[in-house]
Amino acid sequence: NSSESHNCAKSILTSDRLQIVVTLSEFFNETWEAANCANCLKNNSEGLSNSTVEFLDLFNKSLTCFEHNLQGQTVYLSPNNYTEVCKNCNETYRMLNDLYNNLQRMNRHGGESGHSAHLCIDVEDAMNITRKLWSRTFNCSVPCSDTVPVIAVSSFILFLPIVFYLSSFLHSKQKKRILILPKRIQSNASLVNIQEKYS
């Protein structure tokens, strides 16, 4: 009976004590949601979104570049000297990093998938692996472009108190006490002489 099909399915799924089918179904649904898997797909879930395909392609190119520049050189390189990898793969890594940052920005506004949340776990894991290889394993670091302005501003702020105290010292005149002696009447002896003259 079609009207009772829902109840029939429910009774079959929950017939055992563990309800293993329901438990597995809930587990997979929660995992799908937690991993944001829908964010790697197109709106109607027909396949991977164009941005995800582009990212994974660039990710594979980066890994290929890392491997290509390490082949035959590991014998000659010390563990901390991967200058060839840093130099030859810098462009690919920067493109991958920029694309990832753009995908993050797009995803906050809905993106291709129509879901606004984190990127899907495949993209995030791929970027984490690449960044870990780039910074920790190969020790490739590009100096921050903001270093010079930060140093300039910090120096200016540290120099301000010196300028303040120096200018306040120079502009404030140290006033010396000038004692103004009042004109005093001549001593008593001279007064007595004056009085004697007139008397």
| Ranges of each domain in the chain | 1-35, 41-137
- Give the tens place of pLDDT for each residue, 119-166: 999 999 999 999 999 999 898 876 556 678 888 889 999 989 998 888
Query: CA–CA separation, 167 vs 141, rounded Å?
Result: 43
Over range 20-29, report the average pLDDT. Answer: 88
pLDDT band at residue 6, thresholds of 50, 70 and 90? Answer: low
**How do residues 30-80 score in pLDDT, each as one tens digit?**
999 999 898 888 887 788 999 999 999 999 999 999 999 887 555 454 555
Mean pLDDT across the chain, nearest whole number? 79
Query: What's residue 141's pLDDT?
Result: 75
Burial class (CB in 10 A: 0-12, 13-18, 19+), 85: buried
What is the reported pLDDT for 39? Answer: 87
Taking only the tens place, the pLDDT of each residue in 102-125 is 999 888 776 554 555 689 999 999
DSSP for residue 22: H
3-state helix, strand, coil in the chain (%, to 5): 65, 0, 35
Task: State whether residue 43 is helix, strand or coil.
Answer: coil
Residue 38 and residue 115 in contact, taking contact as beta carbons nearer than 8 Å: yes
